[in-house]
Amino acid sequence: MTAEETVTGVDAGGGRPVVPARGAQRPLGFAEVRVTGGFWAGLQATNADATLEHCESWMERLGWLANFDRVASGATGPDRPGWSFSDSEVYKLAEAAAWEYGRTDDPAADAMVRRLTARIAPAQDADGYLNTCYGHGGQAPRYSDLETGHELYNTGHLLQAAVARLRTTGADELVDVARRAADHVCAEFGPDGRQGICGHPEIEVGLAEFGRALGVGRYVEQARLFLDRRGRGTLRDVPFGRAYFQDDVPVRQATAFRGHAVRALYLSAAAVDVAVDLADDELLAAIARQWDHTVERRTYLTGGMGSRHQDEGFGEDWELPADRAYCETCAGVASVMVSWRLYLATGEVRYADLIERTLYNVVATSPRADGRAFFYANPLHQRTAGGGTDHDAVSPRAEGGTRAAWFDVSCCPTNVARTLASWQAYVASAGHRELTLLQYAPARIATTLDDGDVLAVDVTTAYPADGTVTIRVADAPAHAVALRLRVPSWAGGAVLSEGGRTRVVGPGFAVVDRPLVPGEEFRLVLPVAPRLTWPDRRVDAVRGCVAVERGPLVLCAESVDLPSGSLDDLIVDPSVPPVARADGAVVRAVTGDEIPLVPYHRWAERGPSAMRVWLPAR
């Protein structure tokens, strides 16, 4: 069977969201990593039990699902509800449900994918075009607004949903719909077609991974074509400038991520995909350089990216105001996408370090504990307690001191949903003869190495509340293999114990390279005691302040924990070390008062509250 023929069965990706053609590390699929408990298992359960249904209910209520019905029945008009990109939320929800079904075999998740597909498929035009906002009666023509119409962006999310379905269930109607849509895009925007690009990158990363999943190289080639067109002034100028669309400088020539943060990061994820699959080392090196520059100078302590509200974008170097931080949740998701691809390509630990920071302090911060309200923006300083949110109404604003049930622009809930449903993909990777543990959670990890031998371990830990990680070998070949354990960059003084011996291991990878014996245990102890973190002196907005971290968690002070109910006069005495308290800490104020700090991802869970991460220091 050729790549151009019908594909059936489960894709060889085995539940892996990203499957590069080559790279230093191989991602593990759902069958290879089973998370059995802990912090992330709790978030995944809430996502499955509450968030997926919550998202579908709101889309039904607001008419975003009915938009597909109206196209199918020929009842379209100028009164279509929702923004032009609302179709993408349906696709992201389908992706989340597909990953959830692959993770758990829950028939409810499978039923959701089928239910959504039954609404989506009839709206597709005969030539593969699929959009509910353009190209039909009473609507603007197809591709008449490439700057803000989001048509290709929507299609990109459709393709990612199809990847999730293909890699967890096999080819079905959703995959067929996506393939016709991808063929339409290639015909319409190929070398002999329209020379345009989409104002919001996403089609590129969708095409690249869908091409990998089906083995259709021309989809990857079309992604490359879109990448090469960008940065050449193809889109019309806007008040924010062409950098907003990343259409100001060619991808290879850029020095940092810039413009609208989500756009920049989706584009960069696609660039890594194309660079890896087409062996374009120059392009890969360009994205790595941009990542380095951005993480050093344009990224918040939480891992959040995007310091400007006006364009949801990156600021200049060192422009990182705590109270005006935008740090969109979707940018956090996209940052993880870029870093994961760079890690697989290079095997370099710094990418996994940023993934951990961003997952705990951006992605995990967005959903409320019940999974039915979300932060869109994630500032590091809330000066006044936010007003109460009407959880029966759509929030018109991304900013606020409380999580909202739904937004006028509601990209973040579904982005969180698809990320949590596939979270185990980031836990571990494999090489030729090694297994690497990257994110720590209770889990069974079992993979077949390149020589056909099985290596399996059981991980037990209360991380991040406790820094002890116990790894028990469940199965191993008789010959030497390497077990690599990530030691985070903050974890100076970590200790690894094996066979009654202990050794201090520095940040990077702690490696055990020898024949492993089933039943033997290793114990990695990471120092998760609270620690002070000082900002770079070039960040004017927080000069004279200090933050407190505990393991991978950024901590914050909330007004609800202070007798005065106000953070205005809080000044910390940094000469007194912070003391551990539950999973938070206590710091000493210059007044002698003890100030409790809580994990940033939990702020505003007890109601509206003022909050700050960077604390003025004496």
For the chain, the domains span 31-229, 238-394, 428-525, 530-616
pLDDT of residue 14: 81
Q: Taking 70 as the threshold, does the pLDDT of residue 8 lie above it?
A: no
* Cis? peptide before 608, omega within 30° of 0: no
pTM of the model: 0.96
Rounded Cα–Cα distance for residues 96 and 98 (Å): 5
Give the CATH architecture of domain 238-394.
Alpha/alpha barrel (1.50)
The H or E element spanning position 220 is: helix 217-229
Q: Taking 70 as the threshold, does the pLDDT of residue 11 lie above it?
A: no
| Chain segment 426-472, per-residue pLDDT in tens | 999 999 999 999 999 999 999 999 989 999 999 999 999 999 999 99
Q: Taking 60 as the threshold, does the pLDDT of residue 1 lie above it?
A: no
Asked if residue 514 lies in contact with residue 528, where contact means CB atoms within 8 angstroms, the answer is no
Asked if residue 569 lies in contact with residue 543, where contact means CB atoms within 8 angstroms, the answer is no
Alpha carbon separation from 459 to 4, 227, 485, 530 (Å, rounded): 42, 41, 11, 24
Our CA angle for 518, 521, 527, nearest 5°, is 155
Residues 6+ apart with CB under 8 A from 598: 555, 556, 558, 561, 584
| Chain segment 234-281, per-residue pLDDT in tens | 999 999 999 999 999 999 999 999 999 999 999 999 999 999 999 999
* CATH class for the domain made up of 428-525: mainly beta
CATH fold match for the domains 238-394 and 428-525: no
Place of tokens 């032009």: 84
Residues 6+ apart with CB under 8 A from 363: 329, 332, 333, 336, 416, 419, 420
Question: Would strands 501-505 and 468-475 be described as parallel, antiparallel, or unpaired?
Answer: unpaired
Strand partners, 27: 429
Burial environment of residue 457 by CB neighbours within 10 A (0 to 12, 13 to 18, 19 or more): buried
Asked if residue 523 lies in contact with residue 468, where contact means CB atoms within 8 angstroms, the answer is yes
Q: Taking 90 as the threshold, does the pLDDT of residue 582 lie above it?
A: no
Burial environment of residue 37 by CB neighbours within 10 A (0 to 12, 13 to 18, 19 or more): middle
> Mean pLDDT over residues 315-331, rounded?
97
Rounded Cα–Cα distance for residues 176 and 178 (Å): 5
Buried b (16+ CB within 10 A) or exposed e, 502-524: eeebebbbbebeeebeeeeebbb
> Mean pLDDT over residues 604-618, rounded?
95
| Chain segment 171-212, per-residue pLDDT in tens | 999 999 999 999 999 999 999 999 999 999 999 999 999 999
Tokens of 102: 């692959």
pLDDT of residue 4: 39
Residues 6+ apart with CB under 8 A from 406: 58, 62, 394, 395, 413
Asked if residue 391 lies in contact with residue 371, where contact means CB atoms within 8 angstroms, the answer is no
Asked if residue 566 lies in contact with residue 559, where contact means CB atoms within 8 angstroms, the answer is yes
Q: Taking 70 as the threshold, does the pLDDT of residue 5 lie above it?
A: no
What band does 509 get if pLDDT is binned at 50, 70 and 90? very high
Q: Taking 80 as the threshold, does the pLDDT of residue 13 lie above it?
A: no
Residue 611, helix vs strand vs coil: strand
CA-CA-CA-CA dihedral for 162, 168, 170, 171, to nearest 10: -10
| Chain segment 116-164, per-residue pLDDT in tens | 999 999 999 999 999 999 999 999 999 999 999 999 999 999 999 999 9
Asked if residue 585 lies in contact with residue 578, where contact means CB atoms within 8 angstroms, the answer is yes
| Chain segment 521-536, per-residue pLDDT in tens | 999 999 999 999 999 9
Tell which residue, 546, 494, 551, 547, has the closest CA to residue 523: 494
pLDDT of residue 418: 98
Q: Taking 90 as the threshold, does the pLDDT of residue 474 lie above it?
A: yes
Asked if residue 488 lies in contact with residue 526, where contact means CB atoms within 8 angstroms, the answer is yes
Asked if residue 614 lies in contact with residue 572, where contact means CB atoms within 8 angstroms, the answer is no
| Chain segment 543-562, per-residue pLDDT in tens | 999 999 999 999 999 999 99
Tokens of 92: 């992201």
